[in-house]
Amino acid sequence: MDLEGILQIVRAVGEGEARDSIIAIARATGNPETALQAIGGLPEGRKQLLFYQFGLARARAGDAAGALQFPRGITNEATKGPLLVEIPGVQAKAGDVPAALQTADAIAAINANDRDSVGRALGLGQTAQQIQAPLAIAEAQEKAGDRAGAGNTLKRGQALVSADSSLRENDRSTLGKIARVEAMVGRFNEALETARSIPFDVPRSVAFATIAGLQAKAGDVQGALQTVQAIQGEDHDFWKATALARIGKVQASKGDQAGSTETFQNAVRTVESISGQSMAYFRGWRLAAIAEAQAQSGEGAASVATFEKALSSARAMPDSRAGTVNYQAYSKAMLFSPVAKAQAEAGLVKDALKTASEILVLPDKSRERGWGGGDPKVAALYEIARAQGLRFESREAVAWVEIVQVPTEKAFALLGLAEGLLGPAGAESVEPQPDEI
């Protein structure tokens, strides 16, 4: 479906929502000029996000120099940094590793020259940020089958770490990313050593969970299970369950269904062992992710049972009193949304819609300003429709979207469907989320 066809879907849903839809669709199709014409009057936070998205669009189009102009408009360092990492990463994923390395060098040169106006505009100033580009390139090389090239690029990042001892003392993410790439190129002993050197519990656990999944993928399931046991400290059971689910998914992909079933069951038991009402949200969230992995691994009945455990965790959370603002109630409503998303991505659309129907309508003041007004049901319906769009189930999605009565819910469901039909929105990240299974 072309851009005009998608726009026909969203034009009837209202000026504000249609404008947001046009922006998202223009982003997805790599057409930033169309989107730039539509951003007048948008909140500053959304404009910042658009600069990020347009920079990625330029990188996808092969215009790295143009892409590097967009960080100038970004004042939020947390948004600016990932864009600067993504640009050479996208180039490498497209197969142009020499150009990606040149862009990484350009970023480093800008950082080194404080007198350069572009350097001041980009706001670069941390060794940690310079490391991300070669790591992204190395990962892309590894995925393309160039393990030797990936190893050579990895050395650039390792050299920067060696030159800045403060990273080992203060940085919470860089060492974990290095450990990931070390594991990707088969240097598991180095990866484990790097992970052990991380001085913070949660980033260290994330690194071990990532390494365990990659060990399993490389065929060393026993080694992976041993790595899981190294996960200790704060929230260790949460990350053990994450690692076990990754291993179970790999086992299933390699035909070891019995081993996969046992590992998934262990993951579920580990999550259920996390006690305390304050952890109910995280228990439900992780159980939903495990259930999705089970469904993707051919364990349909077990997946349904695990989804039900996730929903039970959500239902057990307290509701708000009528007309009052209640953080726990908001958290409860927000938990149903990722469960519905996971169900839809697992192909259980009817179950996902049923889950979405359980999301309570909260007082306006209980909603955070943001995507869909911060409404968890809007977010859930958007994700369900988007999952169907990605599978080209437009007719099935439209059938339920057409009977949605709330305008905002219908608008964002249509947007989800449109984005899904166009494929993954924006550039595919070169770095998976730490909780990804």
Q: Which residues have CB under 8 Å from 28's CB, separation 6+?
A: 419, 422, 423, 425, 426
How many CB atoms are located within 10 Å of the residue 298 CB? 13
The residue with greater pLDDT, 349 or 45, is: 349
pLDDT tens track for 374-395: 688 888 999 999 999 889 898 8
Per-residue model confidence (pLDDT) at position 420: 81
pLDDT tens track for 233-290: 878 899 999 999 999 999 999 999 999 999 999 999 999 998 877 788 888 989 999 9
Q: Which residues have CB under 8 Å from 384's CB, separation 6+?
A: 340, 341, 344, 349, 352, 353, 356, 397, 413, 416
Is the pLDDT at 419 greater than 60? The verdict is yes
What stretch of H or E contains 296?
A: helix 280-296
Per-residue model confidence (pLDDT) at position 36: 54
Q: Specify the length of the chain in residues.
A: 437
The residue with greater pLDDT, 329 or 234, is: 234
Q: How confident is the model at residue 424 (pLDDT cuts 50, 70, 90)?
A: low
Backbone φ/ψ region at 30: left (φ over 0), alpha (ψ -120 to 50), beta: left
Q: Which residues have CB under 8 Å from 345's CB, separation 6+?
A: 292, 383, 387
Contact 430, 9 (CB under 8 A): no
Model-level pTM greater than 0.75?
Answer: no
Mean pLDDT, rounded, for 417-433:
54
What stretch of H or E contains 160?
A: helix 147-163
CA distances from 117 to 69, 110, 112, 175, 390 (A): 12, 9, 12, 30, 42
What span, in angstroms and rounded, lies between the C-alpha atoms of 6 and 21? 9
What span, in angstroms and rounded, lies between the C-alpha atoms of 218 and 434? 19
Per-residue model confidence (pLDDT) at position 279: 80
pLDDT tens track for 150-209: 999 998 888 877 777 666 666 667 889 899 999 999 999 999 999 999 988 899 999 999
The residue with greater pLDDT, 122 or 30, is: 30
pLDDT tens track for 336-359: 888 999 999 999 999 999 999 988
The residue with greater pLDDT, 267 or 26, is: 267
Q: How confident is the model at residue 369 (pLDDT cuts 50, 70, 90)?
A: very low
Report the chain's mean pLDDT, rounded to a whole number. 78
